[in-house]
Structure 1
Amino acid sequence: MSTEILFLSHRIPFPPNRGDKIRSHHILRRLARMAPVHVGCFADDHADLAEEVELASLAHSYYLARRTKPLVLAGFQALKQGKPISLTAFRDASMANYVREKLASGRIGTIYVFSSQMGQYVPDDFAGRVIMDFVDVDSAKFDAYAEKSRGPMGWVNGREGRLLAAEEARLAARADFNLLISRAEADLFAQRLGALARQVRIEVLGNGIDSEYFDPLQVGPECQMATMPGPRLIFTGQMDYQPNVAAAIRAARHILPQVRERHPGATFHIVGRSPTDAVKALSHVAGVHVWGRVDDIRPWLKAADMALVPLDIARGVQNKVLEAMAMELPVVLTSAAANGINAVAGHHFAVADSDEALIALVNNLADKPQAGKAMGIDARRLVVERASWQSTLAPLADMLSAPPRKWRDAA
């Protein structure tokens, strides 16, 4: 059987500077060491297009599509076709042609689908192996959005969650392997599939961390931030992503003011690309600094005294948490943000869900900096020993050697 791989991703896996790109980047590199890989993916902007040279150096062949379809148009198409907006937003005729051409060559033995948006490109008659990497349960995320939304957006998010759940079930039935980022996500996925879960194969493929890169000994602290009073709290991430926006607002408006009553010098630093107007407005709150995009997140983590991650909605494993742990930062986070990280609360990080409890944890670590330092050291040790990309992606070799489901069913 052919051994070449077709890798389909909703975003170009370069550079590895946000959660989904970090995962897809490392998976693509691992697959490319096993067999020739052909890549179909999308670019969101000119910065993505500038990464084409990196893609060309790794892929045996590739098609990089510029995603220009306005969300409003995708929404109208979705309503007309009865499909999720997530699918119509990533529907591209040229991408479909590229997939058909690659499959027609007869050299593709495995299709690796990264994210449910790209499952629409897998034809029903493909006889090879299909690995469906959902990462996390997107439909559950939109269900959570619907619960928190009012008016028309509540209906839109509810519809998206319902239709995505049906698409996830269709893809799960089609795939040889269905991958989720953590045991909690895998269990949630199985629960939402119902009886179908007994007929499909659901596996956990976790995220890793490059602990040699995220090493506090490799960088110095960012100068502007390091000269500010402390304790210095940091939140990192893509700052036009709704859960990150909500978490930053929560920290700046509800947690930091209470911390500053006890520690007047406390500052909160929001570091990440594409801050929304709501995030930028937080710079007017006393002690809050919005830095936007930075070339290297490590000096900013090195300059911080602790990471504060008060996410209400979090799917899968939070790379921002792993990165902070690898940099020996004590992390105060919600149970949602701790999901999927095999660590001990109170030892490797501090977990609480209410504002009052999060404030108490931050104040406690600020009062006892040596305890925070010890927590950070234990956190890095855990990451180095248990969360390397080499160990987390090891199961891919067995998946690529397993006979395709269609062959097994025919046997």
Structure 2
Amino acid sequence: MKSRSEHRTLVVSHDPAWPPVSGADLRNVQNVQAASEFGPSHLVSLRPHEADGPGSKAFTVASLIRRDDPRRPAVNRPRTRIEPRISAIAIERLLAEVDRFRPDTVILEGIGLQAFIEPLRPHVPQLVLDMHNVESDLALQVGAGALRGVAIRLNSSLLRWHERQAGKKVDRIWTCTAADRDRVLSRFKRPIPLDVVPNAIPRFHEIAASLKDPPADDAPPSILFVGHLGYAPNVQAAVRLARGIFPLIHKAFPRARLHLAGRHPKPLVKALADLPGVHLHANPLTLEKLFAQASITIVPLRAGGGSRIKILEAAAWGIPVVATPLAVEGLELEPGRQVVVGETDKELAQMAIDLLNDKVRLCSQRDEARRAVCDLHGPEAIRRAVGLGLGLV
């Protein structure tokens, strides 16, 4: 029987996850890095990396599609909006990677990569589906209020069917939160190991061991929102924040600034930079300066799956969080003590104003939240969760 130090893990992602930019990238990297503590680890993406080879000291990376590949017929028929087109050459290269690396476990990122399950099944001792989002639920949230209500529901039903079918073929399923685990578990007729692997605090090693001093009383408030600005739930939240919430805060604090930072902003987000006090940071190379200057972060999500990495990172940096109930779902942060929670634009704006006016409460909340997220989402917690999810701990 192999020892833990010999367990070989291969993670398959859709986008090239190294270096990480989006929330999905960060989760894939956390999983492959944590798995590397139990043995060699390898990260393979469907879309091309800039170059194959070492990813970090902990793992290697490779790609299944190359930019100069001729167009080949797809082996799948994508019927949902999250399924990429997968060619025969991608399948061939994945099986070649499996033959070369000889993994004990393969982790597939999400139901969108379900076309890989059947080809992998005969060659992999343990196959894990990482449902970092419960896509069938997310489809309903993102489509809430849309005119295409029937199409949205059909897409969600089809995704739920695919989730059930995938659950019959894999050995284990991972989710980000206990709430997601319970939702997924209720859909299967047969028992299946279902593990909670929380999202990690990104770039934990870059965060100072002690918190910075809060902004000076005469400093203009700096409000921060970080996320993939091409992702529909984040686009909705950014527009809501800039057009509905921030103007109310700006009336109370005329020198306040709202900073929107993230990858690939949609035109709808780019237009927000024309509003008074709003600044857009597209595709930032680093967030360190923005985190260091932020007074608070506001996360007014109406849709989203898994757990919000942007909140974990802000709390670890000592930035107080104001958010909707959905945004903090699954994070085990106590409302009123470690996070401020509101539903409407007016509630969220007033809560932010009250927090900015009460430095004692602001400091207490940030201290409490930092301790909580470091305990629950720090490196040791993630290492143990991945070990359990691999069946090794």
Q: Give TM-score scaled by structure 1 length.
A: 0.83
Label 1:247 to 1:28 Cα distance change in 2 as closer, same or farther (>3 A): same
Aligned-pair distance for 1:38? 4.2
Q: 2:391 aligned with 1:384, yes or no?
A: no
Aligned mates of 2:222, 2:108 — CA distance in 1: 40
Checking the alignment, whether the CA contact within 8 Å between 2:250 and 2:256 is kept in structure 1 is yes
State the one-letter code of the partner of 2:159: L
Label 1:220 to 1:157 Cα distance change in 2 as closer, same or farther (>3 A): farther
Cα-to-partner distance string for 1:90-131 (whole Å, 9 max, x where unaligned): 413222002333455693432211222223212244462111
Question: What corresponds to 1:205 in structure 2?
Answer: 197
Q: 2:131 aligned with 1:114, yes or no?
A: no
State the one-letter code of the partner of 1:15: P
Aligned mates of 2:290, 2:61 — CA distance in 1: 37
Q: 2:126 aligned with 1:129, yes or no?
A: yes
Match of 1:142 among 139, 142, 145: 139
Aligned mates of 2:366, 2:53 — CA distance in 1: 37
Match of 2:172 among 174, 177, 191: 177
Runs of 5+ unmatched residues, structure 1: 403-411
Aligned-pair distance for 1:397? 2.8
Question: What corresponds to 1:86 in structure 2?
Answer: 82
Q: 2:40 aligned with 1:43, yes or no?
A: no
Label 1:332 to 1:85 Cα distance change in 2 as closer, same or farther (>3 A): closer
Label 1:67 to 1:22 Cα distance change in 2 as closer, same or farther (>3 A): farther
Runs of 5+ unmatched residues, structure 2: none
Aligned-pair distance for 1:216? 7.7
RMSD: 3.1
Aligned mates of 1:376, 1:59 — CA distance in 2: 34
Aligned mates of 1:253, 1:190 — CA distance in 2: 39
Q: 2:91 aligned with 1:96, yes or no?
A: yes
Aligned mates of 2:336, 2:212 — CA distance in 1: 27
Superposed structure 1 runs of 4+ greater than 6 Å apart: 218-221
Aligned-pair distance for 1:20? 0.9
Checking the alignment, whether the CA contact within 8 Å between 1:36 and 1:59 is kept in structure 2 is yes
Label 1:230 to 1:34 Cα distance change in 2 as closer, same or farther (>3 A): same
State the one-letter code of the partner of 1:19: G
Checking the alignment, whether the CA contact within 8 Å between 1:32 and 1:59 is kept in structure 2 is yes
Cα-to-partner distance string for 1:110-161 (whole Å, 9 max, x where unaligned): 221122222321224446211111112011111223333224xx45543332
Question: What corresponds to 1:393 in structure 2?
Answer: 383
Label 1:58 to 1:92 Cα distance change in 2 as closer, same or farther (>3 A): farther
State the one-letter code of the partner of 1:131: V
Match of 1:273 among 251, 260, 263: 263
Aligned-pair distance for 1:14? 0.9
State the one-letter code of the partner of 2:15: R
2:139 aligned counterpart, secondary structure: helix
Aligned mates of 2:389, 2:109 — CA distance in 1: 15
1:337 aligned counterpart, secondary structure: coil
2:45 aligned counterpart, secondary structure: strand
The within-5 A match list for 1:146-225 is 146-151=143-148, 154-191=149-186, 193=187, 196-209=188-201, 210-215=203-208
Question: What corresponds to 1:405 in structure 2?
Answer: none
Aligned mates of 1:114, 1:388 — CA distance in 2: 21
1:393 aligned counterpart, secondary structure: helix
Aligned mates of 2:273, 2:374 — CA distance in 1: 35
Aligned-pair distance for 1:308? 0.7
State the one-letter code of the partner of 1:7: V
Question: What corresponds to 1:63 in structure 2?
Answer: 63
State the one-letter code of the partner of 2:22: R
Checking the alignment, whether the CA contact within 8 Å between 1:42 and 1:66 is kept in structure 2 is no
Aligned-pair distance for 1:50? 3.0
Q: Give TM-score scaled by structure 2 length.
A: 0.86
Label 1:363 to 1:103 Cα distance change in 2 as closer, same or farther (>3 A): closer
Question: What corresponds to 1:24 in structure 2?
Answer: 28
Checking the alignment, whether the CA contact within 8 Å between 2:34 and 2:382 is kept in structure 1 is no
Aligned mates of 1:278, 1:68 — CA distance in 2: 33
Q: 2:309 aligned with 1:316, yes or no?
A: no
1:342 aligned counterpart, secondary structure: coil
